Structure 1
């Protein structure tokens, strides 16, 4: 009976969130891709997101961290951000996904946030920059990870018990607190390592 209820509910707000997050992330990845190709064709080209020595994309795009797998990282974003858009549109269209699909989707999101955490640490602690378009990607991946994970837990897609589902069902409306903590962690790291607030105001 519980599984029947699970299959008859359509999370419209969650679906819209996935679409919006996916589109925003894709646009940021597209902008980074354009800038990367421009710099490859013209070494003297200044990326559109180069605002100051601290707030810029050029250093990130030209670094080894910007092409971890031998090709520009933004290409990963162009491919990956189509997934949440597809899932969101499919939900709005009435699609019902099996548990294995939700688990695989969550694994993909987990891989995405793990990659973002590594990129955040490299950007702040190694490259010493805050890439605007990169930060847009970070800003959508953080809520996507938390909302997708808590959603799957409250729906029991991991095979968790009724008590667990009830707990995460009560937590779900407050997932934004986890997202906020994620944002504040990045802000704190950037301020601690780069004195970001003072530097940004200095160049504003």
Structure 2
């Protein structure tokens, strides 16, 4: 017999999904507009190009910036609509089937995997930190943590009562987990790119 699902209306998660979706979509839109500007004028000065180290132009024009054959920001324009819709639907009282949540988690797994790859490419290959990209990273990471933990605490992913209680407690640690992840990325970027040294 399938486990009974709980937390069918996770209001805090819903609000975060909307906030993260809007922020992620704005970042994707800004990157898309910058890509259009470069296509129109390859010598265009982008507002996100703050220095040799902190810029988005190099990222947009690299092969990594169009890894699927089209500019990566298009993925963001389409993908970030999903959390917004899900968040609004939850606040409106919608209750999603298990298969829907699992598909949503599959999308989050793709997003976090893609972000990890982009971070590694940005730091170790392109040697740049793209402002709009970093904004996308900053909301993808906690969103992945929150959605994944919710699936366990709500019984959407079959788990023992102990695991579900642990997931419930772990949800309150998402902000700290996020900050620690940010710190790890920042340390790696500092060791590889000497970010602080470039500021002075």
TM range (shorter): over 0.9
Per-residue deviation, residues 118-167 of structure 1 (Å, max 9, x unmatched): 00000000000000000000000000110111111111111112121011
How far the C-alpha of 1:3 sits from its partner, in A, is 2.5
How far the C-alpha of 1:59 sits from its partner, in A, is 0.4
- CA-based RMSD of the aligned residues comes to 1.4
More helix per residue: 1 or 2? 1
Aligned to 1:113: 112
Aligned to 2:152: 153
In structure 2, the gaps of 5 or more residues are none
Paired residues, number: 199
Q: What's the TM-score once normalised by structure 1's chain length?
A: 0.94
Aligned to 1:97: 96
Larger relative contact order (Cα-Cα within 8 Å, sequence gap ≥ 6) = 2
Per-residue deviation, residues 54-84 of structure 1 (Å, max 9, x unmatched): 0000100000000001100000000000000
Q: In the alignment, is residue 3 of structure 1 matched against residue 1 of structure 2?
A: no
Q: CA separation in 2, counterparts of 1:104 and 1:164?
A: 21
Q: In the alignment, is residue 184 of structure 1 matched against residue 183 of structure 2?
A: yes
Q: CA separation in 1, counterparts of 2:102 and 2:161?
A: 18
Segments of 4+ moved more than 3 angstroms: none
Q: CA separation in 2, counterparts of 1:183 and 1:106?
A: 21
Alignment of 1:1-204 (within 5 A): 3=4, 6=6, 9-199=8-198, 201-202=199-200
Q: CA separation in 2, counterparts of 1:182 and 1:80?
A: 22
What SS does the corresponding residue of 1:3 show, helix, strand or coil?
A: coil
How far the C-alpha of 1:94 sits from its partner, in A, is 0.3
